[in-house]
Amino acid sequence: MATRTLGGRYQLVKRIGVGGMSEVWHGHDEVLDRPVAVKVMAPHQATTVDIVRREARSAARLAHPNVAGVHDFGTSANQPYIVMELVEGRTLGQHLAGGPLDWRIGVRICAEVAAALAAAHGENVVHRDIKPGNIMLTPSGAKVLDFGIAAAIGTADDDPDGPVMGTPAYVAPERFAGHPATAATDMFAVGTLLYQCLSGRLPWLRATPTELVHAECHDDPDPLPEIDGMPGEVIDMMSRCLAKDPLERPTAMVAALLLAEAVDARVYVPMTDFEPAVAPTTSWVDEPTSASQAGRHRA
């Protein structure tokens, strides 16, 4: 980069993350004298300014304690960047590398994630990539990160014949049949996340992506190990989130409130509940069956 200060105010102090499409820097806002995180798109990416601006706008509309806030958007040398709340801690993925969590901790984390999604869905935004690596655990609670592939609820994919946006193990079955992302697709990811917190593994363990997608679309989740003291309502909520039919999944608000009650925790959710996703007009249960269909995903 030609300069280490963006927009005349954001000094890049230390690089704290590198991905295929972007770098994240620990930065300093020289105008407001506060630490920030700055996500800068990699120069070799063909990412358009409009796509990154859409990400910034999606997250900036969400004023919620369990969502990492967005402060600003800009470009430097034709590279778009987003200035965000600096969230310090470890990701849920890093914690799960050591095995399953205490069930009370796992349930509370998922209650907070569901509360964040209730706020997003209330703004007509679906995240589309809920997974352990996008959940930061902080002393004040869980924070949902990276609205990079967020979209308006029900919006068709930019490339219907291209890869399904998201991480395969957390993508809802109807998405592999080409249906748009809805609030219910985020809830399937919450169910997968809860299962993983409680067991230390995914609901389906398969050798290849094709086999994994087939299992998600057709097979029941592997049974959870018995967990002493955990209310049956938690298992029921997890099972409902993992339902093949999106209409059977709970709303984010319902999931947040029930899970929080199970561990005597408090979460902030909007006051109005939201209807579940509109039922697909065509059957997806028997799809996909081929490797080419199962391959429609983004790692």
Residues involved in catalysis: 129
Which structure tokens are listed for 98? 């050591």
Sign of CA dihedral 280, 196, 149, 299: negative
Would you say 87 and 188 are in contact if contact means Cβ atoms under 8 Å apart? no
Work out whether strand 22-29 and strand 79-84 pair parallel, antiparallel, or are unpaired.
Answer: unpaired
Gap between the Cα atoms of 273 and 252, Å rounded: 8
3-state secondary structure of 246: helix
Work out whether strand 22-29 and strand 10-18 pair parallel, antiparallel, or are unpaired.
Answer: antiparallel
Closest CA to 176 of 17, 40, 299, 293: 293
